[in-house]
Structure 1
């Protein structure tokens, strides 16, 4: 008897944007569906010659946002079910400029609270979690080494870009709902909001990708309005990286590379003397380097 396996192909969009309308600091947000349990997704239609163009058209119709930079992330495949069916998901990351309507989007750090290391509260919650992980991996040298690199232990530094590595280790440890097992509820408040299928893994991949891109490319400017202050630029970098920047070093890096140019405009919304507004200087974008201004993080162990 011949058995035929079926494969369903979907497009999944990770649309990221900075919400500047809610708090003093911008919030990194992602477009979700339902009650924040999934990413926008839909079946791949026959006859679509360009997946990227199709995705842009689909998301812009869905949200009313005109997308900026877009790139393919990865292709994910579920394991076959009892009937031999599989779901293949082609994921894309797209960047959107801030909008007043973005307040209805979900915070990315709702799904990865351990990744926002701007807060002392995150550090405090990570310490027992990392201690548990080290205990769980004791006796397994390969996993322990992965844990040390991913979480910045045993002489390693916390690497912002290893979002997916940390997510997969927590999944393997059975701490995330998506793993299908729950080893302990001790850290439930520290492990974020679950998503359907493998959507949180796709979102982790996107956060890893954008954190890598802001180090050596001018991707951060895709999140900002045409005119911005240097403080707004720094806060955007801090929000994306999930950690604080050294103010003087950051401004020195930006200005020495001629990444921005002054305008004759000022921001009247702040307290005290209005801050000068700048704009991105695209002619200097090929020499972008913004990785050297991060403040050190306190050790987790």
Structure 2
């Protein structure tokens, strides 16, 4: 699929005429800009950077890096394979597309460089995911009654009860706990209930039933939800959050980054105690006054921790509402 959402590379599978498969590479590039988790997009198509996997590409990763840099001018650093999407009819009834997606983490750009690219807050696409100030209005006043109506519309009792249970688990209804790692399940539930534009899109306009949020072409928003769920889970057992941090940072900046990614508040004393116990960072002996108030100690990530403890993570002490 090119950056306009059109499959361009065909893999012949043999058999009946027209039985071809298109393959493309899609990147979810994440950075922190002013304490906001942002994703790199292609504004003309409201899409993630993507391009076909071609015979000339040395590997999947090299092909992906080439397409992202060509389309956005942004070179990639840390990347990991995310998921392969190959569902029937995910692009259209007349074609089959295999999309190999990757999660890429990069550090924030300066204002001049960032202005040349299209970075968008991932909460623009998933406004129900940000719980740092409590459950957002989108959940309490909009999503809940619509999901209840959808669940109750099933004729079969078993289906109706299953829908109610899934909505409660995904969104923390009926006194259940909110789980920040269920980002993909929440989006897929809203898609099933036809409450996102992608599920009910006819032409370029949004359906009146869609929950207010930014949409993307094809299933790019589903791919983004997959990346959010992966990253929220992974920062708890691998120190990948430091791929998003500048070389020097304060503990408050580190905490705010983790909170922004998870969409949840973190207990400050517990967070600092765990960071110190796991020896993930070390003091530089320098301070900064950019945070306001007293000079704050600057820290750096201890890269040798990866050799000492391959599974080192942050084990986040997330606040529970």
TM-score norm. by structure 2 comes to 0.82
Deviations 1:180-208 (A, max 9, x none): 2699846633xx10100110001111111
Deviation by residue 1:143-187 (Cα, 9 ceiling, x = unmatched): 222222211233531111111100010011111110026998466
Cα gap change, 1:84/1:124 in structure 2, threshold over 3 Å: closer, same or farther?
Answer: closer
1:227 to 228, 248, 256: 248
Greater mean deviation of Cα atoms: 60-69 or 166-175? 60-69
The match for 1:54 among 44, 49, 63 is 63
Which one of 305, 309, 318 corresponds to residue 284 of structure 1? Answer: 305
- Name the counterpart of 2:10: none
SS at match of 1:106: strand
The match for 1:23 is none
Residue pairs, 1:82-121, within 5 angstroms = 84-100=94-110, 101-102=113-114, 104-120=118-134
Q: Is the 8 A contact 2:197 2:207 kept in 1?
A: no
Counterpart CA distance in 1 for 2:192 and 2:297 is 49
Encode CA deviations 1:260-291: one digit per residue, 9 max, x unaligned.
Answer: 10011111323222111000112334353434
Q: Distance in 2 between matches of 1:102 and 1:27?
A: 13
Q: Secondary structure at the match of 1:28?
A: strand
Equivalent residue, structure 1, for 2:26: 12
Q: Residues 51 and 64 of structure 2 are in contact (CA less than 8 Å); yes or no, is this contact kept in structure 1?
A: no
Alignment match, 1:214: 235
Q: Distance in 1 between matches of 2:92 and 2:130?
A: 39
| Separation in 2, partners of 1:249, 1:235 | 14
Q: Whose helix fraction is larger, Structure 1's or Structure 2's?
A: 1
1:188 maps onto 2:211 in alignment: yes
The alignment's TM-score, normalised by the length of structure 1, stands at 0.87
1:126 alignment partner in structure 2: 139
Checking the alignment, whether the CA contact within 8 Å between 1:15 and 1:94 is kept in structure 2 is yes
Q: Does 1:240 align with 2:261?
A: yes
2:76 equivalent among 67, 71, 76: 67
Uncovered stretches (5+) of structure 1, i.e. residues with no partner: 21-25
CA displacement at 1:35 relative to structure 2: 4.4
Of 63-72 and 4-13, the range deviating more from structure 2: 63-72
- More deviation in 235-244 or 29-38? 29-38
- Picking from 70, 88, 93, the partner of 1:79 is 88
CA distance in 2, matches of 1:253, 1:115: 25
Please tell me whether the aligned partners of residues 26 and 50 of structure 2 are also in contact (alpha carbons under 8 angstroms): yes
SS of the residue corresponding to residue 304 of structure 2 reads helix
CA deviations 1:67-102 (Å, max 9, x no partner) are 332111111135348874222211111111111233
Distance 2:17 2:209 in 1: 45
**Deviation of 1:6 (Å):** 2.2
Alpha-carbon contact 1:5-1:84 (below 8 Å) kept:
no
What's the counterpart of residue 34 of structure 1?
43
The Cα shift of 1:136 comes to 1.9
- Compared CA separation, residues 46 and 236, structure 1 to 2 (3 A): same
Determine the structure 1 residue equivalent to 2:320.
Answer: 296
